[in-house]
């Protein structure tokens, strides 16, 4: 009996060690692609390369729209940025037309770099700074799935620059999301990339729209509800009762109402 218990305990500890040190492969699923292939896809999708002031490519921007107004998208944990080009068709809250910027994370697409919570958030902060320094007067940010963790962190770190936030299938923290799938593991101690959205949003005074999938099999709806409940500032919740995690059409079905609410509650960023 002691031998069996020892083997079970040893196996459990081994799983914990593997999860702690190799969790990046369980959290991030980047699709790598050549720059040439991405440029071709961008042309066909109505996007072009988005470069920083020093000429480094950090993502993609729609060719149409008012250059003084931006929707900055932080995508989920899989694929690459151009897989979210459908967001370019979303009308902006003021009805004046915006440009859609989709950030490419380090280690995704053709962008080099290490992939981690730290590098994704740093890339997001850099993106907001680049937009504000280039003369963009209104910056809305949209995060989907893992990107909601990035968006929340960025809003908390640049609260005076962000006009409003849209969170699509959000969670309150990644450790809670992991616990939903692995309740038998001490995920609160094992997850190093915590993406603590609840804590980050406490630093952001502007409006936050929550779009939750009622049948979400990846991020349980209760985690989005919990994040909404913990939010103290301006907020509004939309639940698509029949939507699963990737049912974008159902999740965005209330967009006109979401956009109207954002228009009425958006803050005026303090741009440099």
pLDDT digits (tens, 9 = 90+) for 187-211: 888 888 999 999 999 999 999 999 9
* Four-point Cα dihedral 193, 199, 202, 204, nearest 10: 0
3-class secondary structure, 30: strand
Say what percent of the chain tops pLDDT 90.
Answer: 69
Q: What element of type H or E holds 105?
A: none
Q: What's the mean per-residue pLDDT of the chain?
A: 90
Q: pTM for the full model? A: 0.91
- Is position 234 within any domain? yes
pLDDT category at 81 given cuts 50, 70, 90 is: very high
Structure letter (DSSP) for residue 83: G
Domain encompassing residue 30? 2-265
Confidence of residue 23 (pLDDT cuts 50, 70, 90): confident
Please tell me the total count of domains within the chain.
Answer: 1
Given a cut of 70, whether residue 268 has pLDDT beyond it is no
| 241 assigned to some structural domain | yes
First to last CA, the chain: 68
162, pLDDT greater than 80: yes
Per residue in 232-241, is it b (16+ CB within 10 Å) or e — as a string? ebbbbbbbbe
Note the pLDDT of residue 226.
97
Q: Let me know if residue 272 belongs to a domain.
A: no
What is the three-state SS of 191-237? CCCCCCHHHHHCCCCCCEEEEEECCCCCCCHHHHHHHHHHCCCCEEE
Residue, of 84 and 268, whose pLDDT is higher: 84
Specify if 173 maps to a domain.
yes
Return the CATH number at 63.
Answer: 3.40.50.1820
Question: 57 has which bridge partners?
Answer: 51
Q: Is the pLDDT score of 241 beyond 60?
A: yes
Residue at 271 is within a domain = no
Give the model's pLDDT for residue 272. Answer: 47
Does residue 136 form part of some domain? yes
Name residues whose C-beta falls within 8 Å of residue 172's C-beta, 6 or more positions apart in sequence.
Answer: 196, 197, 198, 223, 224, 226, 227, 230
Pairing type for strands 57-62 and 98-103 reads antiparallel
Is residue 270 in some structural domain? Answer: no
Q: Is residue 18 part of a domain?
A: yes
């Amino acid at each position: 009996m002691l031998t069996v218990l020892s083997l079970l305990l040893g196996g459990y500890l081994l799983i914990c060690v593997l999860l702690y040190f190799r969790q990046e492969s369980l959290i991030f699923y980047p699709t790598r692609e050549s720059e040439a292939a991405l440029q071709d896809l961008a042309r066909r999708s109505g996007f072009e390369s988005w470069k920083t002031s020093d000429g480094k490519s950090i993502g993609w921007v729609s060719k149409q729209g008012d250059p003084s107004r931006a929707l900055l998208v932080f995508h989920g944990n899989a694929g690459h940025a151009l897989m979210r080009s459908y967001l370019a068709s979303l009308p902006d809250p003021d009805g004046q037309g915006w440009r859609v910027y989709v950030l490419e994370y380090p280690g995704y697409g053709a962008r080099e770099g290490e992939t981690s919570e730290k590098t994704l958030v740093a890339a997001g902060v850099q993106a907001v700074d680049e937009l504000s320094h280039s003369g963009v007067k209104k910056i809305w940010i949209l995060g989907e799935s893992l990107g909601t963790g990035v968006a929340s962190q960025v809003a908390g770190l640049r609260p005076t620059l962000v006009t409003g936030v849209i969170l699509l299938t959000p969670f309150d923290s990644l450790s809670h999301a992991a616990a939903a799938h692995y309740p038998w593991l001490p995920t609160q101690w094992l997850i190093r990339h915590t993406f603590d959205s609840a804590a980050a949003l406490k630093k952001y005074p502007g409006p936050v729209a929550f779009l939750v999938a009622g049948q979400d099999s990846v991020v349980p709806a209760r985690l989005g509800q919990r994040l909404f409940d913990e939010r103290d500032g301006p907020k509004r919740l939309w639940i698509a009762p029949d939507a699963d995690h990737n049912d974008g059409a159902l999740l965005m079905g209330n967009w006109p109402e979401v956009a109207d609410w954002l228009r009425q509650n958006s803050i005026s960023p303090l741009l440099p």
